[in-house]
Amino acid sequence: MVFTATDWSIAANGDIRYIGDDHGGAAPSYATVIELHRALQDYADDASASGDDLIDITDETPSDRSTDNIITLINNFNIDDGAAEHLYDGSIVQAGGDVIYDGIVNFGNATFINVVQSGALITNDFWNSYAPSGFNADAAAGISHRFLVKVRAAGADIDGRRLLGLQRELGKIYAEFPINGTARGNNVLALSESNDLNNETAAATIATWTDIVNAKEGYSLIDADGDGNDEPYFTDWDLGSRSFNQFYERVKWITRRGTSETFYGLNGAVFRGITHEIPVDTSSGTWQEPEAISWTGGTGQVLAVDSTTAPTKIWIQLLTGAAPGDNVTLTGGTSTATALVNGTATERTISIGGGSPLQSTGSAIIGPYGFGIEATDLTSSVNVTDLTNTVRTPPNNVTFTVNGLVSGEDRVLVGPESGGELQVANDTIDGALSAGATSIVVTSTIPTDFPGSGTIRVFNGDTYDRIVYSSYTGSTYTVDSTAHPSGIPNDIADGANVFPSFIDELAGGTSASFTSVFSSSRALFIRVRDGGGTPIKTFETTGTLGSAGGSVTVIRTSDA
């Protein structure tokens, strides 16, 4: 690129302005900062001014060169933001140092680059005008973009001259690169892109996966490792009917370049996750999750609070400035709640592997700090890290599914199998029960791979009552008080047969399933009956719940 004289004007008051075709026009032009300096010096030695360039030997010196990459405009000479868009390869300092545009150079092959300044995207991303060919690129040097960003205005640095470069193209591996305070000359970003083999689904398709939801934006308790004790996280994802990899793609879609999604009160494209854990005390008011948070010297976004009324810890994404120090007052932007920092803020790793809030192996995901998923969606191949920074390994939750059902007609029963038959004598009652009992004790210890809640069938002397339980421990089932507000319906004799009915329902869709923690392979008996409008002969088969779950499909033989 060269300085094209006809594309620039220099006013008598020192205003240097770009007047050529803008980005994408017929013939836009771009010049390096040293080329601007050389052109100004060339005009300044003219005998008299002419045309659009009102500068000559009678005027004061317009610019000074420190290096080829650092040019200072002096004696009231200045550029504006529009002119800065057509300069690159260095810094422009003007107004006695009160205004500075610093150079940004990206060493990499990124096609689109987002730049975050003061916690928000710079919306005028003119440097993406020629994607995917780059902006003032130098392919031989491995440079994809060169441009200027204003980092100081009216005598004050803009957020300490901090910038964050992001590459978040759907279908590519996300990346980020921080500039923690620009210096004069060129400042380096290192953003490249490569195909993400775990993110090949079209954006329009991912947009329809609305059954993947974050059930709570904020402090969430989940028993991810199945030890009976909840751990804290700042998300509570429900994967719906989707796979782990589809979940990964959905999170990338929410946080992609150009997204209109709002995530924790932030535009998804700037969401990064928890950057700092802050110990607090002396709180007043009621905090909200999420909300903006501020202190002298910085701002952030609250992602989680361990108590909205009496917090001891607040987790944030830092947006501007530096993390607060001890005894600094924090203020909620919406709630106006306050708290004092009680010690030192701990910086947390926001992502494993770069600029994406989540990573995928294809068959499982790797959750970064605090990223929680509903326990029933987890498998032993997925590790999550809670807010205590402890890695939790889930038990192997497996699912057995009966497919090929007719909603509203098919009655489905899945229970234990022995000798090809339904094992009704799987266990027995330990002690007679009276109608109205709220717990059921059986002879044997209930296997830990039974669903945490579900149904059992208990022989009442004539038929098998269907009893819903809410939990179990040892050899005792707790009767679900919502399903059975008056307790069990009938007297039960000591020694009566009991068996788990893993699926025991009128089909509410084309499939029915149950999930449990895998311990060892379990033999199952499956029975499906439909005597309704489209009757079928009773379907019976056996199946196995293995380490990867299992399924059967109903063979529908008409009985009309």
Instruction: Give CA separation, 72 vs 99, 103, 270, 457, in Å.
Output: 10, 13, 33, 85
3-state class of 472 per DSSP? strand
AA letter at 154: A
Q: Which two tokens stand for residue 530?
A: 């439909």
Non-local (6+) Cβ contacts of 215 within 8 A are: 236, 237, 238, 374
Residue-wise pLDDT tens digits, 510-520? 999 999 888 89
Non-local (6+) Cβ contacts of 137 within 8 A are: 143, 144, 145, 146
pLDDT at 355: 65
Answer whether 55's CB lies under 8 Å from 63's CB: no
pTM for the model stands at: 0.81
Answer whether 487's CB lies under 8 Å from 435's CB: yes
| Angle at CA of residue 519, ends 518 and 522, nearest 5° | 80
Q: Which two tokens stand for residue 109?
A: 């092959």
Rounded CA gap, 193 and 179, in Å? 19
Q: Which residues of the chain have pLDDT under 50?
A: 352-353
pLDDT at 1: 67
CA 268: distance to chain centroid?
A: 8
pLDDT at 351: 66
Rounded CA gap, 135 and 103, in Å? 13
Rounded CA gap, 188 and 181, in Å? 11
Rounded CA gap, 415 and 410, in Å? 16
Q: Which of 479, 545, 542 is nearest to 515 (CA)?
A: 545
Q: Which two tokens stand for residue 421?
A: 């038959």
AA letter at 422: L
Sorted by where each begins, the domain ranges of the chain are: 5-189, 203-268+351-395, 275-347, 398-553
Answer whether 256's CB lies under 8 Å from 263's CB: no
Residue-wise pLDDT tens digits, 92-108? 999 999 999 999 999 99
CA torsion sign, 483 to 489 to 493 to 497? negative
- Dihedral-angle region of residue 303 (phi above 0 means left; psi in -120 to 50 means alpha; beta otherwise): alpha
pLDDT at 177: 95
